[in-house]
């Protein structure tokens, strides 16, 4: 059965193509600096937003028209798998990602939920045999069901902690079964609403205990996926524990988890935290903690997680610059944790959204590689910090200098001369590179 009958495989047709069902910039087989675009970008489809999401919002019911919605229960779950693999193939997408509840309905008990999962996982495994699309990561949803109202691993209830652990245990087994390259922990409701009823120390300790137990179990079953923490500062709780990369990294170090995890960085979570997307990527990169990316964008005027498909070429360029500086994403990828707008409710919109996201990152990749080749940003930064390459600067960096020596040096200074920060020059250069790369 075909769910996207009218749509043929999406091909690269070049920048001048008028075909809305073609890539204008994403050319999977094109080589850039020794790697194909497909290898650089490692795009993934988010199962929840593309096949499960109904586009409801707090003010209105779902609007999504999805041909598979004529089914219900397990039949719907199976229809979604069929639709998903048709979509993956037509889009030539190398990866996908899911939560347990995206792919199979929850039953009346944990046992029943696991049985439902087993049926769908077996079906997905079967489809994967004939597909080039692999599992970038899986995770479990430990936040939607009312039992997780006070959190999962940071719940006040030991029973809920146990239930959450059982779900992650199954998630790790599913990840191994399907060959997931990563396993994601997004905080969900791991956070708190008010300190007036919260034992924060116990909650943080428990969260760390949970992560250690998860890693122990992954080791026990030989599941070698990279573990990823996905920071987010707020939503649904007002204080999420994995606020951003910096606080997440401190948490991991406090609990001796820094070698177990890397970060899955989501653009809209970065901006919710008051950072830029590139700030979060950069912070993770310089600490060797950049694992994977949830590629989306927030709305500049809205203060919540809008999860839009990425189309801002400036943002994708700066993101790809960080990713290239990182030497790529390793086992990670660019997962479109993004949803079409509530008004974009047709199945065709799902294709247009992904084409736009993929083209936007392809543009970012090409511009960023040129910026790097010409050392545009590197040269400016090297020059800016040149004072640390000789004299007193070299002594500071090598650890030789102390306050006595620094005071002695400072007393000899009449006035310091400093070069300009040149921000406007740099921005103009980046604009020039963006426009001339495709001229
Ligand atoms: C929520 C979010 C999640 C994670 C996976 O904001 O980003 O979808 O990516 O649980
Ligand atoms: Co996400």
Q: What is the pLDDT, as a whole number, of residue 1?
A: 86
Tokens for 397, please give them: 């960096």
Which of ligand 1's atoms lies nearest the C-alpha of 294? Answer: 9
Is the distance from the beta carbon of residue 294 to the nearest atom of ligand 1 less than 6 Å? yes
Which ligand neighbours the alpha carbon of 233 most closely?
1
Higher pLDDT, 416 or 320: 320
Q: What is the pLDDT, as a whole number, of residue 152?
A: 98
Q: What confidence tens digit (pLDDT) does each residue in 380-391 have?
A: 999 999 999 999
Q: Is 383 exposed, middle or buried (0-12, 13-18, 19+ CB in 10 A)?
A: exposed
Tokens for 206, please give them: 């428990």
Q: How many whole angstroms from its chain centre is CA 329?
A: 11
Q: Tell me phi and psi for residue 124, to 5 degrees.
A: -60, -40
Structure pTM? 0.98
> CB neighbours of 172 closer than 8 A, spacing ≥ 6?
183, 214, 217, 218, 221, 223
Q: What confidence tens digit (pLDDT) does each residue in 127-159 have?
A: 999 999 999 999 999 999 999 999 999 999 999
Q: What confidence tens digit (pLDDT) does each residue in 155-206 have?
A: 999 999 999 999 999 999 999 999 999 999 999 999 999 999 999 999 999 9
* Cα→Cα distances 242→148, 245, 262, Å: 17, 8, 13
Is the distance from the beta carbon of residue 305 to the nearest atom of ligand 1 less than 6 Å? yes
Is pLDDT of 415 > 90? no
Q: Which of 98, 164, 232 to mutate to test the pocket of ligand 1 (most atoms within 8 A of CB)?
A: 232
Q: What confidence tens digit (pLDDT) does each residue in 283-319 have?
A: 999 999 999 999 999 999 998 999 999 999 999 999 9
Q: What is the pLDDT, as a whole number, of residue 417?
A: 81
Q: Which of 230, 243, 273, 335 to mutate to test the pocket of ligand 1 (most atoms within 8 A of CB)?
A: 230
Is pLDDT of 416 > 80? no
Helix (H) or strand (E) run with residue 267 in it: helix 267-272
Q: What is the pLDDT, as a whole number, of residue 336?
A: 98
Is the distance from the beta carbon of residue 186 to the nearest atom of ligand 1 less than 6 Å? yes
Percent of all residues in the chain with a pLDDT value above 70, rounded to a whole number:
100
Predicted confidence band at 337 (pLDDT cuts at 50, 70, 90)? very high
Catalytic residue numbers? 99, 102
Is pLDDT of 431 > 90? yes
Q: What confidence tens digit (pLDDT) does each residue in 338-351 have?
A: 999 999 999 999 99
Q: What confidence tens digit (pLDDT) does each residue in 19-59 have?
A: 999 999 999 999 999 999 999 999 999 999 999 999 999 99
User: 308 C-alpha vs ligand 1 centroid, how far in Å?
Assistant: 13
Q: What is the pLDDT, as a whole number, of residue 419?
A: 85
Q: Over the Cα atoms of the chain, what is R_g?
A: 24
| Average of per-residue pLDDT values in the chain | 97
Which of ligand 1's atoms lies nearest the C-alpha of 186? Answer: 10
Q: What is the pLDDT, as a whole number, of residue 144?
A: 98
Q: What is the pLDDT, as a whole number, of residue 158?
A: 98
Q: Spell out which residues have Cβ within 5 A of ligand 2, the ion.
A: 266, 294, 337
3-state secondary structure of 284: helix
Q: What is the pLDDT, as a whole number, of residue 122?
A: 99
Q: What confidence tens digit (pLDDT) does each residue in 50-97 have?
A: 999 999 999 999 999 999 999 999 999 999 999 999 999 999 999 999
């Amino acid at each position: 059965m075909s769910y996207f009958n009218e749509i043929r495989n999406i091909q690269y047709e070049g920048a001048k193509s008028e075909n809305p069902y073609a890539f204008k910039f994403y050319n999977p087989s094109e080589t850039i600096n020794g790697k194909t675009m497909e290898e650089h970008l490692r795009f993934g489809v988010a199962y929840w937003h593309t096949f499960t999401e109904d586009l409801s919002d707090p003010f209105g019911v779902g609007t999504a028209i999805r041909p598979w919605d004529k089914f219900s229960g397990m039949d719907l779950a199976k229809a979604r798998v069929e639709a998903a693999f048709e979509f993956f193939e037509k889009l030539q997408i190398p990866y996908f990602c899911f939560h347990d509840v995206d792919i199979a309905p929850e039953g009346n008990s944990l046992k029943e939920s696991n049985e439902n999962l087993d049926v769908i996982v077996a079906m997905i495994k079967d489809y994967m045999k004939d597909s080039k699309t692999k599992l970038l990561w899986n995770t479990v949803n430990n936040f939607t069901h009312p039992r997780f109202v006070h959190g999962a691993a940071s719940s006040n209830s030991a029973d809920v902690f146990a239930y959450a652990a059982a779900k992650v245990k199954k998630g790790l087994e599913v990840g191994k079964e399907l060959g997931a390259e990563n396993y994601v922990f997004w905080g969900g409701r791991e956070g708190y609403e008010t300190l007036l009823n919260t034992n924060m120390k116990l909650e943080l300790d428990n969260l760390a205990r949970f992560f250690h137990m998860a890693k122990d179990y992954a080791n026990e079953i030989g599941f070698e996926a990279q573990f990823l923490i996905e920071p987010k500062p707020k939503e649904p709780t007002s204080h999420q524990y994995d606020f951003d990369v910096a606080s997440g990294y401190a948490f991991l170090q406090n609990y001796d988890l820094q070698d177990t995890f890397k970060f899955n960085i989501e653009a809209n979570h970065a901006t919710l935290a008051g950072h830029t997307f590139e700030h979060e990527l950069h912070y993770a990169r310089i600490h060797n903690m950049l694992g994977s990316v949830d590629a989306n964008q927030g709305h500049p005027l809205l203060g919540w997680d809008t999860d839009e498909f990425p189309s801002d070429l400036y943002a994708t360029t700066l993101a790809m610059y960080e990713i290239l500086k990182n030497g790529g994403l390793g086992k990670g990828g660019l997962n479109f944790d993004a949803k079409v707008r509530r008004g974009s409710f047709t199945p065709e919109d799902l294709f247009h959204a992904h084409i736009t996201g993929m083209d936007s990152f392809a543009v970012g990749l090409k511009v960023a590689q040129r910026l790097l080749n010409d050392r545009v940003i590197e040269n400016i930064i090297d020059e800016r910090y040149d004072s640390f390459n000789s004299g007193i600067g070299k002594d500071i960096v090598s650890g030789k200098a102390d306050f006595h020596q620094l005071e002695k040096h400072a007393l000899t200074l009449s006035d310091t001369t400093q070069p300009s920060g040149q921000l406007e020059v740099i921005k103009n250069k980046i604009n020039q590179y963006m426009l001339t790369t495709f001229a």
